[in-house]
Amino acid sequence: MTSLLSDRFGPGGSLTAQAEAQLARSGMRLAFPRELEARYRLDLASDRSRELRHITRTGALLYFSLGVLMKLSGVTHENWRDCITQLAGGSGGVLLLAHYFFKPTIADTLREISALVCCLVVSLAAILVAYLAPATTQDLIIAALPANFVLMFVRLRFHFAVVFALVSFGCYSLSVLLRPTLEPQTHVFLITFMAILCLPALVGVHSLERASRRLYLHGLLQNLRVARLAVENNMLTVLSMTDPLTKVANRRRLDMELRTFCAGVEKTGALLLIDVDRFKAFNDMHGHQAGDLCLQEVAERLAAHLRPSDLLARFGGEEFAVLLPGVPAREAASMAERLRTAIHARPFIADGAEIRVTVSIGIATVNIDTTPETLLEAADLALYAAKSGGRNQVRV
C-alpha cells in the first residue's frame, strides 16, 4: 500500500510534504518549489484564463467609455476622430491579444506575458496621449489612473506586476519631466502621486497572491487526502476480496459474483469446482510449506489458461472455483479438460523431487432457474462423481 501511495502522490508523498511545508513557511517569497508550482499553474490554468478574459473585456470597455466621457468637455469637433482612434486602438489591441492568448492551452508564462502586454498597452497609451496632447495637470493626473486600475483589478502575478509598475512609473515620470511648461513643484507632485498610486497597489497585489496561493494549498491538501483515502479504501476492498495465499479471489468474492451472475437476464455459463487430489497426503509427506507452494502454483497454472472475463477463486482448502460466463456446457468441458491437463502435464518440485499432482473437476451449467446455491450444489455433486470415479478427471 505504501508503494502504491508513493507512486500516486510522488516519491515519499512529496507533493503533500511540499504543500505542508509551504503552509508552515513564513516570509514574503511567493514561488513554490518546482513540482508544486507546476501543479499550481496547471490546476488554475482554466480559471486563470477565464478570469483574464473577463477582466480584459471589462477593462477595455471601461477604458473606452471613460476615455470618451473625459474628453467630452475638452475635445473639439475636429479632434474627435483622433481621440476615438486612440481609444479604440488601445481597446481593440487589448481585446485582440486576449482572444489569442488567454486560453487554457496557452503556456502559463506566455499567457501572463500577454496579460502584462495588455496592461502596458492601456497604461502607456493613456500616458502617451497625455504627453502628446496639450494636457493640463489634471489630464496628467488622470493619465496615471489606468496604472492604478490595472494593479488593483487585473491581478497580474506579482513579479509581472512589479515589471508593469516600474515601466509605467518610468514612462510617466519621463513624460512629466519632458514637459517644459510644468513647474518643478508640479513635476515632484505628479511623480509622487504616481508613486503613491503604485506602491500600495503593489503591496496589495503581493498580499492577494499570497492569500490565493495559501488557499490553493489548503484545497490541494484536502484533495490529496481524499484521493489517498480513496486509494486506501480501494486497496482494502481488493484485499478483502483476495485470498492471501494464492492471490486469487476468495470465497467472499465468488459468492458476490455468483449472486450478480445468477440475477442477470441472460444466464449462460458454467461453474467449475476443482479439487487437488490427495492433497492431505501431499501435506503429510512434504510439509505444509510445500503444500502452500503447490496451491500457489496450481492457482498460477489455472489462471494462465483462463480468459480475462473468467473468475478464478479459492473455494476453500485445496479447492478452487472457476466461473465461466457465457460458456455453454460443451465448451466448459473442453476448458476444464485443458485445466486438468495443465496441472497434470508438468510435475511439481517438492524436497528436490518431481511430483505429479492431479485435479478432479466438477462442472455445473447455468439455466434460467439457477441460483447460487443450486449451482454450487450441482458442481459439488459433479466433483464428487469425478473423485469417486478415480480422480484426475472431469465430470459434468
Which helix H or strand E contains 123, and what residues bound it? helix 108-132
Is residue 273 a contact partner of residue 361, using CB atoms and an 8 Å limit? yes
Find the mean pLDDT for residues 155-173.
Answer: 92
Q: Above 50 in pLDDT, residue 11? A: no
Q: Above 50 in pLDDT, residue 8? A: no
pLDDT at 12: 39
Looking at every residue in the chain, the average pLDDT score rounds to: 84
pLDDT at 10: 45
Give residues with Cβ within 8 angstroms of 190, minimum separation 6: 137, 140, 141, 144, 172, 176, 182
Quick: pLDDT tens for 96-138. Answer: 766 666 777 788 888 888 888 878 887 887 788 777 777 678 7
pLDDT at 351: 75
Find the mean pLDDT for residues 383-389.
Answer: 94
Given pLDDT bands bounded at 50, 70 and 90, which one contains residue 68? low
Q: Above 80 in pLDDT, residue 271? A: yes
Quick: pLDDT tens for 174-203. Answer: 988 888 788 888 899 999 999 999 999 999
pLDDT at 265: 62
pLDDT at 142: 79
Q: Above 70 in pLDDT, residue 79? A: no
Quick: pLDDT tens for 353-370. Answer: 888 899 999 999 988 788
Which among 318, 319, 337, 377 is annotated as catalytic? 318
Find the mean pLDDT for residues 59-83.
Answer: 58
Of 194, 187, 205, 200, nearest to 169 (Cα)? 194
Residue 212 in grid coordinates: 490565493
pLDDT at 167: 95
Find the mean pLDDT for residues 221-227.
Answer: 89
pLDDT at 4: 39
pLDDT at 181: 80
pLDDT at 342: 94
Give residues with Cβ within 8 angstroms of 62, minimum separation 6: 149
- Quickly name the fold that domain 251-395 has: Alpha-Beta Plaits (3.30.70)
Cα→Cα distances 373→153, 361, 363, 370, Å: 70, 18, 14, 8
Which residue, chain included where needed, has cell 501511495? 5
- Range(s) for CATH 3.30.70.270 in the chain? 251-395
For residue 396, which amino acid is it? V
**377 catalytic per annotation:** no
Quick: pLDDT tens for 207-223. Answer: 999 999 999 999 999 98
Cβ-in-10-Å burial (0-12, 13-18, 19+) of 363 comes to: buried
Report d(CA 387, CA 179) in Å as an integer: 110
Find the mean pLDDT for residues 4-17.
Answer: 55
Please indicate whether residue 64 or residue 39 has the higher confidence score (pLDDT): 39
Report d(CA 178, CA 117) in Å as an integer: 25
Quick: pLDDT tens for 289-338. Answer: 999 999 999 999 999 999 999 999 999 899 999 999 989 888 999 999 99
pLDDT at 296: 94
Residue 123 in grid coordinates: 497604461
